[in-house]
Structures are given as structure tokens and as C-alpha cells.
Amino acid sequence: MKKIKVAFVVLIAIGGLAFIIKGAGGKSFEKDNSFEVDRIEELEINNQSWDIEFSY
């Protein structure tokens, strides 16, 4: 019974460390880019890769 408790604590500790490391090194997908509509002269969309390019 003692081995099960120790294994459970070790498993929780390893899982917690993995969660902390993943959270600290992960990148956020939230990225704000603000463009002034009056300054954009042309909008080009590449259908092959769906890249959007703004020409000022």
C-alpha cells in the first residue's frame, strides 16, 4: 500500500512539472495587429498558402 501511495505522489509531481514547463514555454496564439484602413492601398491574398500581404 505504501508503494502505491509513493507511486501516486511521484506521478502527480511529474505531471505537475510537465504542466508547469509546458505552460511556461508555450506560445500564445493571441496576436494583435492593428492596421489603419486609410493607409492600406492594396490587399493581396495568396490562395496557395493563404498569406495576406498589405501594401501601403
The predicted-structure confidence for 5-26, as pLDDT tens digits, reads as follows 999 999 999 988 888 877 665 5
Measured between alpha carbons, how far is residue 53 from residues 33, 34, 37, 46 in Å? 13, 14, 14, 8
As beta bridge partners, residue 53 has 44
How far apart CA 8 and CA 17 sit, in angstroms, is 14
d(CA 38, CA 3): 68
In this structure, which amino acid lies at residue 46? N
Q: Which residue has the higher pLDDT, 50 or 8?
A: 8
Entry pTM: 0.40
The predicted pLDDT at position 8 comes to: 94
- Who has greater pLDDT, 14 or 32? 14
